[in-house]
Amino acid sequence: MPNYKIIVQYDGTGFSGWQIQPGRTTVQGEISRALSVITAQRVRVTGSGRTDSGVHARGQVANFNVKSRIAPDSMKRALNALLPSTIRILECQGVPDSFNSRFHALEKTYIYTLFRSPVLSPFLGPFCLHFPYPLDLERMQRAADLIVGERDFSSFTTRSDKNNHVKKVLQIRVLPRGELLHIKVRGRGFLRYMVRTIVGTLLEVGEGKRSPEEMTGILEGKDRSLAGPTAPPQGLCLWEVLYPDPNAPIPEAVPEGGDDE
């Protein structure tokens, strides 16, 4: 069965997140529904990971197998014709049967955006957290650097049954851009709410409520109550998901894949 890889962009405002749920409008649900119209089959769509309600994506990646053999460009056009305008398929390509967007994801980048001026732009409101308070960005970057590495992130996620909360964060950058502040987080994979809890905690550091050095203790304590609040979803955007070179042999499934934000 042909396997298609798609790059998906969505304005998460009106969706109950990525994952299909009965009675809710979700991104995965909308794509599955469009595919069932195109192929007259029930199609299972695999995403690189779930995004929560209200979280956006500039470069979510998904894949699906269908019985019909449809040219990738026709598939893309048919999907875009059937999907709501708040979900767009940017790219569609045929990939080897074995490709799995969840298990083969090598690296993900999330960007969290704050709007720092006193009056929130009516255009950017749905895509950022309004945060018009003073922030010490240098302290935030110092705290961020202490989080980077392969660590147990139990303090930055909700309690779950998973016994492994070890994730590898590759880089966190605090990037002021005019009225905006971006917090860019690159990692091998993330636990649920992990990026948003990192952001909430960094904001407390930036406001002077915590010292950057507390980060080490928060991580070591492995207790969610030690970290700051979970920043609200509308500021978060799944920016990019990287995969191994398609010409290289596909590696074994990596445990970092398949987690969620």
Residues near a copy of itself (CB under 8 A): 9-11, 56, 76, 80, 85-90, 119-123, 125, 127
- Residues carrying an active site annotation: 52
What is the rounded distance in angstroms from the CA atom of residue 114 to the CA atom of residue 149?
24
Nearer to a copy of itself, 115 or 153 (CB): 115
Least distance from a copy of itself to the Cβ atom of residue 72, Å: 14
Asked whether 81 and 145 are in contact (CB, 8 A), the reply is no
Residue with tokens 């929560």: 52
Nearer to a copy of itself, 206 or 233 (CB): 233
12, 54 Cβ separation under 8 angstroms:
yes
- The residue among 113 and 157 lying less far from a copy of itself, judged by its C-beta, is 113
* Radius of gyration (C-alpha) of the chain in whole angstroms: 19
Q: With respect to a copy of itself, which residue has the nearer C-beta, 76 or 108?
A: 76
Query: At closest approach, how far in Å is the CB of 153 from a copy of itself?
Result: 29
Q: How far is the CB of 13 from a copy of itself (least distance, A)?
A: 10
Q: Which residue has tokens 């005019």? A: 178
What single string gives the DSSP state of each residue in 17-36?
-SS--TTS--HHHHHHHHHH
- C-beta neighbour count of 114 within 10 angstroms: 22
Minimum CB separation of residue 123 from a copy of itself in Å reads 6
Q: Are 199 and 147 in contact (CB under 8 A)?
A: no
Rounded to the nearest whole angstrom, what is the least distance from the CB of residue 250 to a copy of itself in the complex? 27
Alpha-carbon distance of 4 to 1, in angstroms, equals 10
Length of the chain: 261
Closest to 54 (Cα-Cα) out of 113, 104, 127, 124? 127
Nearer to a copy of itself, 11 or 260 (CB): 11
